[in-house]
Structure 1
């Protein structure tokens, strides 16, 4: 999985360690390694245009390495940001990968797919580095999810290997102004999670001074009275002070006494990036920062105490030689090949039929197996509505999968604002079905951390519009497998309600499924009835890919959508549409709440109209649609989403490109105009596709 994390370039001696257990020879070595890498990139590789993104860690490096040296728990995890390479080196990132990543060479943590400062380090049996995000502050809520998973494994699954483990979110002081920081702070403190907020404060967010980020320039002082949070503050450039504070923080977390915020002041001894000239700083400010360089401070701290001058020089020489060797090996790696650039958007199957699994994330890498399923329904005598069908499916999957968790706003005590989860919290307890704070960023972000820790999160977003604050985390989830080249994935099922219901409005009644069709790496299901809801939801809950499961409000208790419960083993594979009504002269393609309207309208045309319910938008059933349109020669697309760039446009483009000469008439689309959903039922019905509008469109196409 990865090389031995303990890099010992020079033989250890009793003098390597101080009375606190720190291996200062190793810390000094990694500090020299980090400085050498930064220097080579800044002076050689960036000017030579071999490295395109470079963020020096000079000044930040010592405290990061000290922290990394203490992350030894079997399930410790850390998520950093673009200046976290020293921390990753301390965690076990190989020198060769550390150089090859920025050089965009093959292999390593992304194979040239992601920028070289965005690391990941999978490890199922030791401390791991969670995939970094290019977004500022996006690391916090996934770490909260990992920290919550530590509690879950230990308390619910009785796994003692998680005892004393910690989760670390590493960011700069500017990141404390983000949604993710505050959301994760609420999660960690209300649940008393073993989470470290490690904030290195260099006083600048690129050029913006810290007084623009937080009042008084000190997030630690501002959070001193925050309940359930231990706050530590000090000088990250001082070896003695920083090591003492880091050790204090980790011991507090390993004793499971709640979260810690550790703010360490550090100098940024370079520009924000290699392109930043720091013209916004005075010469005096730059001189002050240079005087706080932790490297000479470390030398003064160690030489004549644990090392002599010759040993110090020996460590420096060895580090420079090792980096030079790593650079040579990195240069020897081939450039990434483009032939497989389209791979690993979703979980794939090898030639022998077995899945090509990610190293970490989701149930599959841990060897979890589900009972057999079937695509043949075993219907019960009575019909149920979609609410009951979804609830019963969640109930069964919760019963057979002890790693499945259902959560969101109002999910537990109230049973969901749509009553879908009613009774599940009473049955399975608050560790498995629970309410969250009012933060969609936090709901989805923590789901990422849970999925990376090997759980199956099922977060609920109450209404489609409410997912907007979580869009960054949703996008990061979908791209994770691709950007890490199948090292990490975060399978989850995000249940989202939306669409019109009796009335509409701009806040609760949107569908906008095309947004998730356009998002990378997400499966998207839009069932129109209770039977399909059961089969699609069960498929999603057992899938190795993240899924958006759209629960249309108008169909939750709709009479047409009621169906017999199809059995606890019933699944509907994604990408398989259903022919609702066969026909010969026109293909009507639809999904969601438009299906019963289209079926009803088509009845007036006898056997002329074939109605197809796509059921899933990603993937969508190109084969069945192609067969039908080839047969009929005409196509009408009906959906609730806005017409411009709606998913119907994608299908129309596909058909125009592949079946142009088989068409007997232009492809026609019927959808909502480009406005939000109106609240007044009168106004809503004036713009929403209904049976009359669908019938008119069918009649026009058949007459061509």
Structure 2
């Protein structure tokens, strides 16, 4: 595709802009900042404040152009003027920084970390406190627009767009570059709106991007229209924004608009801007867009007296809103732990439950075929059935398309269901997970693959944010996604492909964690995950993918395994062995080797885990051994041990013991690997020690 030339600053008609409303919104935003900075923060009514002074004009103009009810903006902590333009009430806007009840987080998040899940109007996706994480979820929303329009044939998504707001500091982040790559290579309806105030807190733009001007650096990008201008000049900003929004809305491709703006206050209230000299501070005040808007309107459109009346009205409005916000009750402390997971209350935005999606019938009892299959085939058949019966399900990741995945679990799925439903991604885990979050917001069920557990590390920010979305927004938004993630040792080890580390995801708030040990459970747990209202990490152990031990008959297309239900592999009364994943086989081998009577429990899911089954077993056996592949220190076995020492103490005749990996990475050499893995012998030796205690 031919390169897009830089757009000119040629003005288009801006006669249809309601400048009176633009002025009202900017004056309202400015009055909010003044009220917080001069009174509420000093009085400690607001504890965390970010001023939008200087950024208001472009945001208000942009917000006025978001008119499709399926438009979405993914913004950041200096974006309150946009929210006001899209209908955020003054009282909610004032109450949130006070941490009062109600509003967009019910006191759970920083006051300017907003969201707006309007069912009948443009949405503002949940913001985050980390810089750059707003980009890739917005890409997912844009792809969701195209999917619903082109695949599901929902015409109401025609002309809808996704807009991403970011400062000049954010263009240095992984999220920005990942989103830019996806948007341009996939030709998605995305507008990147960059507010360049010259500083990332105290660090100048030259340290964020070479030359300090991101619009110059992107001239070589194919399929990207670039706009550049002054975000303080009313007509210029309005013209460029109207042109850029229409360009994306008309499906000509993604675009980026960079507007220069002054940051008239510090990064936050505590920032005194001592790193700026007096000349620069005066120049920034001179470029105040509010002053320029007044000069633009007075006296040609209104009188100075009218402007002063507007100022007074905005101040009075904010005084009343602040008073009402201050009088709101504090959030209910008994509700603080609510919404870490789905509790049956459907959110406003996100996931299949919002639209009343109905799944085929399910069953907890298998209808097993005769032939045994491996875990790879079990996963493939389960994905195939869900793709057949759920048109909103998508499967994607690096190499999942024509190649069929590096472990062959998606073989032939793209040829059967098409590239819009089973597709490859760029090599960016940040992009894979962030995109999945946005797709979930748009009402789809994304099943993303991370090739190996270690490779999930670059996506940690998106994974953590995904898990807390429901809690942070007090159930206004949710992002149920499935992340398939192979890991663990195989024919050999190594520090990169063989990491287990499942405990990381049990500690990540809001995530379900499944770790099947056999093909039957893989089917039931994966299907359960794809029909869940919670995000799920589905861990596929590399050593089990084609292992004889893990082969089981396919349990049928209706088979479901509920999360939080352990499976008893062996039944006995001398000791309870708690394990999961590849350690199930070795634990059973140890029991056979010793010829003892033991309960061997495969937890199957670690979040939630079946506490009841474990306690019931220990009440009979009075002894417990935990076996897992992950490192010992702070491994999930430590959590189990802590619970058992308290809740099973009176039943125990011996200390709760663990057999785990030591605190080292998995070695490559096979003998070295086996020297640190929990082997059958090590497990058997520890069982004997416990029985002799």
Question: TM-score, normalised on structure 1?
Answer: 0.96
CA distance in 1, matches of 2:300, 2:553: 78
1:444 match: secondary structure: helix
Q: Does 1:160 align with 2:155?
A: yes
CA distance in 2, matches of 1:20, 1:408: 46
- Shift, 1:91, TM fit: 1.2
CA distance in 1, matches of 2:87, 2:413: 42
- Shift, 1:500, TM fit: 0.3
Q: Does 1:435 align with 2:416?
A: no
Please name the residue that 1:310 is paired with. Answer: 305
1:361 match: secondary structure: coil
- Shift, 1:30, TM fit: 0.3
Alpha-carbon deviations, 1:105-164, whole Å to 9, x = none?
Answer: 001111111010100000233200100011100000001111111111111011111111
Listed as ranges, the matches of 1:262-661 within 5 Å are: 262-348=257-343, 355-606=344-595, 608-661=597-650
Instruction: Find 2:106's aligned residue among 104, 111, 114.
Output: 111
2:97 match: secondary structure: coil
Give the length in aligned residue pairs: 681
Please name the residue that 2:206 is paired with. Answer: 211
CA distance in 1, matches of 2:659, 2:15: 71
Instruction: Find 2:63's aligned residue among 54, 68, 77.
Output: 68
Alpha-carbon deviations, 1:475-495, whole Å to 9, x = none?
Answer: 000011111111111000000
CA distance in 1, matches of 2:391, 2:278: 59
2:326 match: secondary structure: helix
1:129 match: secondary structure: strand
- Shift, 1:607, TM fit: 5.0
The answer as to whether partners of 2:14 and 2:239 remain within 8 angstroms in 1 is: no
- Shift, 1:659, TM fit: 1.3
Listed as ranges, the matches of 1:59-138 within 5 Å are: 59-138=54-133
CA distance in 2, matches of 1:618, 1:594: 18
CA distance in 1, matches of 2:564, 2:39: 50
Please name the residue that 1:14 is paired with. Answer: none
1:356 match: secondary structure: coil
CA distance in 1, matches of 2:376, 2:119: 37
Alpha-carbon deviations, 1:65-91, whole Å to 9, x = none?
Answer: 010011111200001111000011111
Please name the residue that 2:136 is paired with. Answer: 141
Alpha-carbon deviations, 1:385-432, whole Å to 9, x = none?
Answer: 100000000000011111111000000010000000000000000000
1:375 match: secondary structure: coil
Structure 1 residue ranges (4+ consecutive) displaced by more than 3 angstroms after TM superposition: 604-607
- Shift, 1:318, TM fit: 2.1
2:653 match: secondary structure: coil
The answer as to whether partners of 1:166 and 1:194 remain within 8 angstroms in 2 is: yes
Label 1:634 to 1:333 Cα distance change in 2 as closer, same or farther (>3 A). same
Please name the residue that 2:46 is paired with. Answer: 51
CA distance in 2, matches of 1:631, 1:370: 40
Alpha-carbon deviations, 1:254-290, whole Å to 9, x = none?
Answer: 1011111100000010111100011111001100111
The answer as to whether partners of 2:14 and 2:238 remain within 8 angstroms in 1 is: no
CA distance in 1, matches of 2:119, 2:14: 31
- Shift, 1:19, TM fit: 5.0
The answer as to whether partners of 1:25 and 1:315 remain within 8 angstroms in 2 is: no
Q: Does 1:671 align with 2:660?
A: yes
CA distance in 2, matches of 1:132, 1:44: 26
- Shift, 1:328, TM fit: 1.4
Unpaired runs of 5+ residues, structure 1, are 1-17, 349-354
Q: Considering only aligned residues, what root-mean-square deviation do their CA atoms show, in Å?
A: 0.9
Alpha-carbon deviations, 1:150-179, whole Å to 9, x = none?
Answer: 111111011111111110110100000000
The answer as to whether partners of 1:597 and 1:690 remain within 8 angstroms in 2 is: yes
- Shift, 1:316, TM fit: 2.0
Please name the residue that 2:27 is paired with. Answer: 32
The answer as to whether partners of 1:582 and 1:607 remain within 8 angstroms in 2 is: no
